[in-house]
Amino acid sequence: MAFRQIINKVLTRLREDTITSDWTGDVLDSDDVDDYQKLISEFVNESKQLVEDSWGWGVLRTIETVTTSNGTASYTLSNLNDRSRILQVIDDTNDAVLSQMSDELFYRYTYVGTTQSGNPSYFRLKNNEISFWPTPDAAYNIRVHAVQPQDDLGTAASTLKCPEHIVVLGAYALAIAERGEDGGLTASTAGLRFQDALSDAIVQDQNRTVNETTWYAS
């Protein structure tokens, strides 16, 4: 569903004027969208982030591959950023699953004492940089499975990936809480509807993927 449609669904629930035509560029910079409509667009993006961070949605999952080089520990993952979450890192060369290492341990093992090299057994992710320990001593094919949330929606035609009805409910709950009147529901009731719908959607998405831990909205 396009960004303008999502904003309008929230505005309709709030009994407010909808946006009648697409704007040019980013919504927050547009003269064709009034201030309250811009506020709702921000609530849509805030709700989107809440939904994205609640579960590893299948539509947000991505796989990136890295081929290591002898003596190089760190590599840039072009499709990931500071909101990315690693699901699994697999060394396809050795049919091994790597374990995640904390920053503290990585720095201790890498910069204190003698540097070790060999088959990577651990990884450390920092923003979009993945590092391996021991430092690879050859070319290993590493497969990184991750969840990559979308950037904020901005243009009228930009399309939401995660379940739009949950994002609409979340944005609506944020809006009625912000303006201090119910618009048909109390803010607490709207919030509960959002949480219930989010939990249901997580279960449905989880059932599409085997061997996943079930997460519920908190």
The confidence score (pLDDT) of residue 217 equals 42
User: Is 156 among the domain residues?
Assistant: no
Start-to-end C-alpha separation, the chain = 26
How many of the other CB atoms lie within 10 Å of CB of 142?
23
Are both 21 and 36 inside the same structural domain? yes
Q: How far is CA 108 from CA 99, 105, 114, 130, in A?
A: 16, 5, 10, 16
Are both 182 and 134 inside the same structural domain? no
User: HSE (CB half, 13 Å, CA atoms) of 24?
Assistant: 1
Are both 26 and 92 inside the same structural domain? no
Per residue in 140-152, pLDDT (tens digit) is 999 999 999 999 9
Instruction: Determine the distance from the C-alpha atom of residue 40 to the mean position of all C-alpha atoms in its chain, rounded to a whole number.
Output: 20
Range of the domain at 7: 3-57+162-207
The confidence score (pLDDT) of residue 218 equals 38
**Where a domain ends, among 147, 171, 189?**
147
Contact 7, 40 (CB under 8 A): yes
- Run of H or E including 73: none
Q: Between 91 and 113, whose confidence is greater?
A: 91
Are both 140 and 198 inside the same structural domain? no
Mean pLDDT, rounded, for 72-83? 90
Both tokens of residue 31?
Answer: 């003269």
Contact 56, 38 (CB under 8 A): no
How many of the other CB atoms lie within 10 Å of CB of 103?
11
Upstream peptide bond of 134 is cis (omega within 30 degrees of 0)? yes
- pLDDT of 79 above 60: yes
Per residue in 167-199, pLDDT (tens digit) is 999 999 899 888 775 545 566 676 676 777 777
Predicted confidence band of residue 126 (pLDDT cuts 50, 70, 90): confident
User: Is 216 among the domain residues?
Assistant: no
Q: How far apart are CA 139 and CA 142, in angstroms?
A: 9
pTM of the model: 0.79
The confidence score (pLDDT) of residue 210 equals 47
- Run of H or E including 207: helix 187-207
Per residue in 5-33, pLDDT (tens digit) is 999 999 999 999 999 999 999 999 999 99
Predicted confidence band of residue 213 (pLDDT cuts 50, 70, 90): very low
Contact 171, 12 (CB under 8 A): no
Per residue in 33-55, pLDDT (tens digit) is 999 999 999 999 999 999 998 88
Number of compact structural domains in the chain: 2
Place of tokens 């904003």: 7
